[in-house]
């Protein structure tokens, strides 16, 4: 090999090594803390959702759609517009359900099985790692363009209710929430921002 070709091959190898190092550094920078900071700095306001719930005693999934409204740090509203009209508001330690002209208020402290599901979404949207880690073990995969955050309940009492919550997104946008219950039932919510 001529000296010129050797220098060219060495330059190409150095460029490849530098590119590989840059990719590894970018991956190392992507972490649960980086995701939480991103979500915290760009909280969503309103989004449309489509949800499917698969329940073992039913022949087909229940489908619904509507609007989600998040007001940081802890007010989450789900307004179902199809197939019926229902409004569910989680605000601090209280859940209010309005359906068919009736209103029910639930103290989340008395119903941990409901609170655990609400906190998975609320804590993620708020970018509140401490709130999530009070209840869940966290595992992040992917990168900033396409990430997946898996939440597994820490307490055995909650593991008997919820097997896993998986939240996926891109950048600061949560796009999908899947809840797998311990009994095999599951729900999948697709989320897209309102325009």
Residue 20 lies in a domain: no
Domain that holds residue 153: 32-193
pLDDT at 14: 40
- Please give the model's pTM, rounded to 2 decimal places: 0.82
**pLDDT higher than 60, residue 23:** no
Band of pLDDT at residue 121, cut at 50, 70 and 90: very high
Residue 23 lies in a domain: no
pLDDT at 113: 83
Please list, in sequence order, all residues whose beta carbon lies within 8 angstroms of the beta carbon of residue 179, skipping any fewer than 6 positions away. Answer: 117, 120, 162, 164, 165, 186, 187, 188
Residue range 126-178, pLDDT digits in tens: 999 999 999 999 999 999 999 999 999 999 989 999 999 999 999 999 999 99
Residue 9 lies in a domain: no
- 90-120 as b/e: b if 16+ CB within 10 A: beeeebeeeeeeeeeebebeeebeebbbbbb
Residue 102 lies in a domain: yes
Pair of tokens at residue 166: 């998986």
CATH number at residue 42: 2.50.20.10
Pair of tokens at residue 183: 């009994």
Residue 14 lies in a domain: no
pLDDT at 6: 46
Residue 8 lies in a domain: no
Q: How many independent structural domains does the chain possess?
A: 1
Residue range 51-103, pLDDT digits in tens: 999 999 999 999 999 999 999 888 999 999 999 999 999 999 999 999 999 99
């Amino acid at each position: 090999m001529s000296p010129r070709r050797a220098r060219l091959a060495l330059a190409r190898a150095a460029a490849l090594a530098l590119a590989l190092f840059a990719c590894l550094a970018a991956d190392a920078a992507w972490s649960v803390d980086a995701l939480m900071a991103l979500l915290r700095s760009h909280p969503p306001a309103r989004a449309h959702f489509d949800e499917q719930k698969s329940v073992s005693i039913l022949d087909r999934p229940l489908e619904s759609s509507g609007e989600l409204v998040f007001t940081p740090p802890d007010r989450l509203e789900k307004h179902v517009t199809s197939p019926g009209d229902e409004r569910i508001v989680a605000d601090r330690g209280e859940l209010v359900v309005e359906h068919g002209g009736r209103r029910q208020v639930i103290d989340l402290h008395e119903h941990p099985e409901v609170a655990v599901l609400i906190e998975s979404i609320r804590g993620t949207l708020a970018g509140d790692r401490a709130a999530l880690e009070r209840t869940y073990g966290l595992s992040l995969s992917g990168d900033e363009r396409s990430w997946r955050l898996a939440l597994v309940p820490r307490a055995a009492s909650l593991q008997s209710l919820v097997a896993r919550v998986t939240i996926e997104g891109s950048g600061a946008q949560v796009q999908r929430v899947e809840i797998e219950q311990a009994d095999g039932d599951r729900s999948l919510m697709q989320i897209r921002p309102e325009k």
